[in-house]
Structures are given as structure tokens and as C-alpha cells.
Amino acid sequence: MKKIVFIILLFTMLSKAQEVKVSSGKVQRIKNFKSEYVDARTIDEYLQFHLFQ
């Protein structure tokens, strides 16, 4: 799970990014995400369908 979150963080879009649409699951946008490794930024986190039922 940590590896998936790390990959998501690597491929996040800038705060001016377009809305993300997926065919299954959902995308949760987190604004001003803080990390000790990079500056605060907006990230999009993909949640598989079974995670939020």
C-alpha cells in the first residue's frame, strides 16, 4: 500500500490540473498535501471501488 501511495505522489498533477475521471473507483483530490520530502502540493489519490464501500 505504501508503494502505491508513493507512486501516486510521484505522478500527481499540479494544482491547476484538470478534473480526473475514472471508469471505476474514484479520485480524491487533496489540496496542500504536506510532506517532509517535497514542498506542499495538490495530489490526486486513486481509490479502488472496494476501498470505500
User: What nine digits make up the cell of 7?
Assistant: 507512486
pLDDT in tens, 21-52: 778 888 888 999 999 998 999 888 888 876 55
3-state secondary structure of 28: strand
User: What is d(CA 18, CA 22) in angstroms, rounded to the nearest whole number?
Assistant: 13
Report DSSP state, residue 36: S
**Is-above-0.85 flag for pTM?**
no
DSSP per residue, 38-49: S--EEEEEEE-G
- pLDDT band with cut points at 50, 70 and 90 for residue 14: very low
User: What is d(CA 18, CA 50) in angstroms, rounded to the nearest whole number?
Assistant: 25
